Amino acid sequence: MSPQNDSSARHSVVPGAGASLEQWLGYLESIHPSEIDLGLDRVLLVLRRLFRRSPSARIITVGGTNGKGSAVTALEQLLIRAGRSTGAYTSPHLQHYNERVRINGSNVTDELLVRAFERVEAARGTTTLTYFEFGTLAAFVLFEEAGVEDWVLEVGLGGRLDAVNVLDPDLAIITSVDIDHVSFLGDNRESIGFEKAGILRPGISAIYADIDPPKSVLQQASAQKVRLEHPGETYQLVASDRDGNATGGFILRQARYGDDVRLPDTGLPVHSLAAAVVAIRQLEPALELSAIEQLLAGLTLAGRYETLNALPEVVADVGHNPHAAAWLAARLGRQRKPGGHVIAVYGALADKDVEGVARAMSLVVDQWHLVGLEVPRGLSSEELAARLVEVIQEPLPKRWSSVWEALKFTLAQASQDDLIIVFGSFYTVAAARDALGK
């Protein structure tokens, strides 16, 4: 989505009766002068026109730098397993907008989305909304119309001023805090933590999923008397292998329950899965441990360490900042086959810390293939190579104009023991999934 100027916003034409979802999405991109405009005033104004009272549903808000999608999906599926009707709102999408709004595990239809967009459009009047804000309110409309009992909502950017935060959560999860979106959130973990912790509310339960929470998160939790759970304090994560590595998964221990929950090594971030388990045991204590473990063992998420091809193995991951790259590098290091190489296909957006990402991944990558992304803010392969000239020196990376070209070459050249990792952006992963028929 590219930012629109004031002129395009003034001359947008509302889609008429029978308009398609694609026509509505094009309209949503045009009605606000900027792609990102953090703040709650405009969203609150339209929300109050849409709903006479606060939703009666139980609200779970999930924020954080990395791991949000995994936490949302795990908790969504656990709530469904517990017999709760559940809506999940996530962003961005990989290939179809409908992926952003799920009811009981299924993407909503084009027709339902269009109807919700029409309601939001009628309610907003002259109030401008960004693409994300408009879509967030439409998701609320759909959940309310469906009578969904639990709303699991993923923060888009930050937390305190994100559109999702117009609703007060009954439980909040912060998956991690690290450096990303510096121009909006700040350039250090404390300032970013302050923004992320904006989703907390007085007296609620909350979970900080990662180790070493910033002081700003702890301070806000304390000031609001939030019952904050986090690993190393109220629960423990222990590698299940005797040698201390994670190939056999992890064990989640909570002293209050006196039992263990086994978390499988599925390629999803274990801290996010643990947070979802801690949450479900608060929300639905009757759900049996065997049901939790069985569900998590089969849990996958498109674009999150997703296997796209078997031999040679091709894995795709949407990680796009140094924190995510460090997790990805550790995972690849454990999965590397003896004698095999790790081959990277990397495409990124211009506003990302591509140098930091490449440094983290260089610990495991043997060959680099840099791809251009012809999307708003996308870097060409030449631009990406220029930014990485001091980071990747030997062997020199190859450059490609598209993900498909890079994949076609690497698949032809790789041995069966090699591992190809496609990463760096949702756009990069979407292109790889298209290329390989996913």
pLDDT in tens, 278-310: 999 999 999 999 999 999 999 999 999 999 999
Q: DSSP string spanning 82-136?
A: TT--EEEE--S-SS-GGGGEEETTEEPPHHHHHHHHHHHHHHHTT----HHHHHH
Domain assignments of the chain as residue spans, ordered by start = 6-297, 306-435
C-alpha to C-alpha distance for 174 and 202, rounded to whole angstroms: 16
CATH fold label, 6-297: UDP-N-acetylmuramoyl-L-alanine:D-glutamate ligase (3.40.1190)
Same fold, 6-297 and 306-435: no
Q: Residue 61 in 3-state DSSP?
A: strand
Whether the predicted pLDDT of 9 surpasses 60: no
% residues pLDDT > 90 (the chain): 87
C-alpha to C-alpha distance for 236 and 32, rounded to whole angstroms: 45
| Of 119-128, 181-190, 328-337, 342-351, the least confident | 181-190
pLDDT confidence band for 4 (50 / 70 / 90) = very low
- Region 334-362: what's the mean pLDDT? 96
C-alpha to C-alpha distance for 88 and 68, rounded to whole angstroms: 12
- Region 34-56: what's the mean pLDDT? 93
Whether the predicted pLDDT of 116 surpasses 80: yes
- Between CA 338 and CA 343, with CA 340 as vertex, the angle to 5 degrees is 145
Angle between helix 41-50 and helix 110-124 axes, rounded to 10 deg: 110
C-alpha to C-alpha distance for 97 and 132, rounded to whole angstroms: 11
pLDDT for 98: 98
The partner residues of 348 in beta bridges, in order of sequence, read none
C-alpha to C-alpha distance for 80 and 75, rounded to whole angstroms: 9
pLDDT confidence band for 437 (50 / 70 / 90) = confident
pLDDT for 5: 35
Greater confidence, 244 or 254?
254
Task: Name the residue with tokens 């069966």.
Answer: 416
pLDDT confidence band for 246 (50 / 70 / 90) = low
C-alpha to C-alpha distance for 72 and 70, rounded to whole angstroms: 5
- Determine the distance from the C-alpha atom of residue 34 to the mean position of all C-alpha atoms in its chain, rounded to a whole number: 22
C-alpha to C-alpha distance for 108 and 386, rounded to whole angstroms: 42
CATH fold label, 306-435: Protein-Tyrosine Phosphatase; Chain A (3.90.190)
Whether the predicted pLDDT of 266 surpasses 90: no
Tokens of 109: 């239809």
- Region 43-55: what's the mean pLDDT? 95
Tokens of 389: 């000239």
C-alpha to C-alpha distance for 327 and 308, rounded to whole angstroms: 19
Q: Dihedrals φ, ψ of 86, to 5°?
A: -135, 135
- Region 360-379: what's the mean pLDDT? 96
pLDDT confidence band for 247 (50 / 70 / 90) = low
pLDDT for 33: 79
Q: Residue 19 in 3-state DSSP?
A: coil
What Rg, from alpha-carbon coordinates, does the chain have?
22
Q: Dihedrals φ, ψ of 84, to 5°?
A: -95, 135
DSSP assigned state of 425: S
